[in-house]
Amino acid sequence: MNRTSNYPDEILMAYADGELDEPQRSEVERAVRADPALAAAVERHRALRKDVFDAFAGVLDEPVPGRLQPGTTNAPGKVLSLDAARNARARSTAAAPSAPRPAVWPRWTALAATLVLGVLAGSAWFSGADSDAGYISADASGRLAARGQLAGALSRQLASDPAPNSPVRIGVSFATRDGGYCRSFSVGASAGLACRSGESWHIPVLSEAVTASGAYRQASSSMPEAVLDAIDDRIAGETMNAAAERVARERGWKR
Amino acid sequence: MLANELAALLPRMRRFARSITFHREDADDLVQVAMERALGHSEQYSEGTRLDSWLFRIIRNAWIDEVRSRVRRDAVFAPEEEGEHVGHDSLEAHSQRLAVQKAMSLLSEEHRMVIGLVLVDGLPYKEAAAVLEIPMGTLTSRLARAREALQKLLSEERAAS
C-alpha cells in the first residue's frame, strides 16, 4: 500500500515550502512524523528547492552592470562616450554575423545626457515643472515629458508636412507594440523619441544630434543611433504615412 | 523615490532573469528593458502593493513580448561562469550548481518561470500566482509539474554521468 496517496504531492510540496495554513500544517506534520515515505517525499521537495536556490544564489553577489542602474547615478563623463560606446558595440556585433543586433542600449545614459544638456542650454531648454519656458520637464521621479512648443508640435505637426516656423522637426511616427504611438523629433541640437502617455508626451530617449566631426546636424538629418534603436525596440509594423498620421492626430494620438 | 527602490531590487531581478534565459547578457538585456518599462510606466504602480511583484511581472511580460524573440537563436546552456565560484567551495557543489542550471535550461518556459519565482527568488505562492496572473490552484499544480520535470532531468543527468 502506498500510504503517500493520502496526501497528494501538491500538499506535501506546499508543506515543504511552508505554504500550508493551520490546521492543515499540523495535520500533515503529524502524518509526516508517522510515515517515513511521506517524510522522504517532503525531504525531496526541500532538497530540490535548496539545490535550485543555490544554483542561482551567486548572481546576487555579482556587481550590477552600470547600464542597468537608473540614470541619476550615471557619471556625466559617461555621456560623452555615448556614441563611441554604441558604435563599438555595433562593430563587435557586425564582426560576429550569427549574433543578433544589440538588443538594447543604455537609455539611462541618454537620460543623463538630458540633464547635461539642460545645464548647457539653460532654462530655455530644460526646465522644472513650475516654469513656463522650456521644451521638456522632469517630474520628481526623473521621468521626462514634452512641454511648451515641443508638446504642441508633437500633437499637431505632421512628419510629412513640416512647419517652417516651428523649431521642432518630426522624424517618423509609428504605432508601438504595446498599443500606443511614438514619434521621433529633433529640436535644436537634440533629438529624441516621444511616446504618447495619457494626455502628455513622455520622452524615453533624448540624445545629442552631433556628427562625427562634432558639428550639429541639420535638424532634419539622420537621427542619433540611440533614437533609432529605441524606435526599433518599439515599432509595430511600418512607420506611418501622412494619411495615418492625420487619422491619429484627429484621435488625439490614442488607440 | 521609485528609481532608488527599483535599483535596490536589481540583484534579485538579475537572478530571476538568469533563471529564465541562459546567457548573462540576455538576462541583463531583459532586466534593462524591464527597468525602462517600469520607470516609463511608474504611474501604473500602485503604492502599498509589492514593488518586487510588480517588477517581476514587467520582466515576465518583457520576456514574452519583446526580449524572447531576439535572444540568441542557438540558445543552449553554456556555462560561461565556469570556474568563477571554484575555490570558494567544493568541486562537487560547483558541478551540482551547473547541473541544476543546465536542467533548468531544458525546462519549458512556463516551468522555468514558476521555479524562478518560487524556488530561486522565494516568492510566496500567492505572490507568484499574481506575477504570473494565474489562480492559486494553477500555480500549485504548475509548480508541482515543474519540480517533477526538473527532478527527472537531474536524475537522468546523474545517471548519465
Q: Which residue has the cell 522632469?
A: A138
pLDDT at residue number B90: 75
Instruction: Give the closest of A67, A73, A141 to B42, CB-based.
Output: A141
pLDDT at residue number A118: 41
More confident residue, B41 or A107: B41
pLDDT at residue number A124: 44
Side-chain half-sphere CA neighbours of B11 within 13 A: 9
Instruction: Evaluate if residue B77 carries a pLDDT over 70.
Output: no
Closest-CA residue of B relative to A110 is B36
According to the per-residue pLDDT averaged within each range, which of A2-11, B33-42, B138-147 is highest? B138-147
B40–A233 CB contact, under 8 Å: no
More confident residue, B138 or A160: B138
Instruction: Evaluate if residue B121 carries a pLDDT over 90.
Output: yes
Report chain A's mean pLDDT, rounded to a whole number.
73
Structure ipTM: 0.90
For residue A169, give the 3-state DSSP assignment.
strand
Q: Which residue has the cell 510566496?
A: B124
According to the per-residue pLDDT averaged within each range, which of A32-46, B75-89, B91-105 is highest? A32-46
Return phi, psi of residue A96, to 5°.
-115, 90
Picking from A50, A51, A61 by the largest number of B CB atoms within 10 A of its own CB, the best residue to mutate is A51
Q: Sort out which chain A residues have CB atoms less than 8 A from B62's CB and list them.
A: none
The one-character DSSP state at B49 is: S
> pLDDT tens digits for A78-113?
332 334 444 444 544 444 444 343 444 444 454 454
> pLDDT tens digits for A186-196?
887 788 899 99
> pLDDT tens digits for A119-174?
444 444 444 444 446 888 887 777 888 988 888 899 988 887 767 778 888 888 88
> What sign does the dihedral A39-A44-A49-A51 (CA atoms) show?
positive
> pLDDT tens digits for B123-134?
999 999 999 989
Q: Sort out which chain A residues have CB atoms less than 8 A from B22's CB and list them.
A: none
Give me the numbers of helices (H) and strands (E) for chain A, helices first please: 9, 8
Query: What are chain B's domains?
Result: 2-160 (1.20.140.160)
Contact at 8 Å (CB) between B43 and B128? no
Distances (CA, A) of A244 to A139, A174, A229, A252: 31, 9, 23, 12
Instruction: Give the closest of A10, A70, A106 to B144, CB-based.
Output: A10
Q: Where are the beta strands (DSSP E) in chain B?
A: none
B65–A177 CB contact, under 8 Å: yes
Q: Sort out which chain A residues have CB atoms less than 8 A from B125's CB and list them.
A: 14, 17, 19
Picking from B33, B120, B155 by the largest number of A CB atoms within 10 A of its own CB, the best residue to mutate is B120
Question: In this complex, how many residue pairs, one in chain A and one in chain B, have their CB atoms less than 8 Å apart?
Answer: 130
pLDDT at residue number A133: 60
> How far apart, in whole angstroms, are the C-alpha atoms of residue A27 and residue A30?
5
Judge if pTM exceeds 0.90.
Answer: no
> How far apart, in whole angstroms, are the C-alpha atoms of residue A189 and residue A251?
30
More confident residue, B102 or B90: B102
> How far apart, in whole angstroms, are the C-alpha atoms of residue A158 and residue A252?
13
A10–B120 CB contact, under 8 Å: no
A56–B101 CB contact, under 8 Å: yes
Picking from B9, B14, B45, B112 by the largest number of A CB atoms within 10 A of its own CB, the best residue to mutate is B14
